[in-house]
Amino acid sequence: MPEFQCKITESIPPQLRLDRYISEILGLLSRSQIKVRKLKAKINGKDVKISRLVKNGDTIELSWNDPEPLDIIPENIPLDIIYEDERVIVVNKAQGMVVHPGAGNRKGTLANALYFRSLEKNGSLDGRELRPGIIHRLDKDTSGTMIAAYDDDALAFISQQFKSRKVKKEYIAIINGIPKEKKMKIETFIARDPLNRKRFSVTGQGRAAVTFLSVIKTWEKHSLVLLRPKTGRTHQLRVHMRFLGHPITGDSLYGFDDALFPNATLMLHSRRLAVTLPGEENKTAFASPLPQRFKEMIRSFTRGLFCFFLLDLNSLLS
């Protein structure tokens, strides 16, 4: 963990915040790196926030985390790219792809692919701290729209939008059964299930989770729904659908046996993501198309009227 100590002896502008002093005068870290590296500060021996104002004569003590080690193998894995510039990339993540390496998944992840792409775009690391800037995650069997960053500033800028819930996210799912209401707000607390550590469940306490649900189409025993999560808890949509008694079809962790589709995979897709890109003032919306597994299941419901349904679905989701 790097450390730094100094006493302000030079003339500084009035009302100067500590984070600006670190980035603009000392040049130690950018303001976004201050957040990413979890900088801790003391002024005159007392712990302070980075928003604290500084003045001549203050003694400053700083410490911050080293960059996260790149224990990632770059791999040339084809990606379905929706958008890309020098600072961010938006992809349509395939179902079955793990986002970040972990136990038993050291290769073949989105992070491996993004690291390779960073190196390919820049030739080499060349002293820069390029890394797969994973901002948010989708479960392995959830497909769809994801954004990642190529540099710390972009990572911090977009991460803050997720943290402050300014990013608009839309998912589509096929669920078992038919909800009683066409539109509803699901608001609960979610915590890890004490009986199964791989799962989460609705509890009387935990982390607040809010999801807005709209029913798009119903059939005899299934429904197509649009889900808009306001919060981003782990497995939130899957937990909320199980809580309603209408688990997502093909969900092996939270679902029930489905006699019609015993071999279905998770029918959850991140359809749309609206976010403000670095350097922009307004949100840009990115969307990924209806996956083939959705088309095949819907076709079995519509019995030859799939083309007409698809046109109607596009108008409903636009």
Q: What six digits make up the tokens of 46?
A: 């007392």
Beta strand pairing status for 283-287 and 207-218? Answer: unpaired
Q: Is 243 helix (H, G, I), strand (E, B) or coil?
A: helix
Identify the bridge partners of residue 286 per DSSP, sorted by sequence position: 273
Active site residue 71: no
- CA pair distance 128, 106, nearest whole angstrom: 23
Residue 120 CA to residue 225 CA, distance in Å, equals 39
Element (H, E) at 19: helix 18-20
CA triple 196-200-203, angle to 5 deg: 110
Among 19, 139, 151, 251, the active-site one is 139
Cα 227 to Cα 141, 155, 164, 180, 252: the distances in Å are 17, 25, 19, 16, 19
Neighbours of 217 (CB within 10 A): 16
Q: Answer for the pair 250, 232: CB distance below 8 angstroms, yes or no.
A: no
Q: How many CB atoms lie within 10 A of CB 116?
A: 18
DSSP labels, 162-227: HHTT-SEEEEEEEEES--SSSEEEEEEEEEE-TT-TT-EEEESSSEEEEEEEEEEEE-SSEEEEEE
Residues classed as catalytic? 139
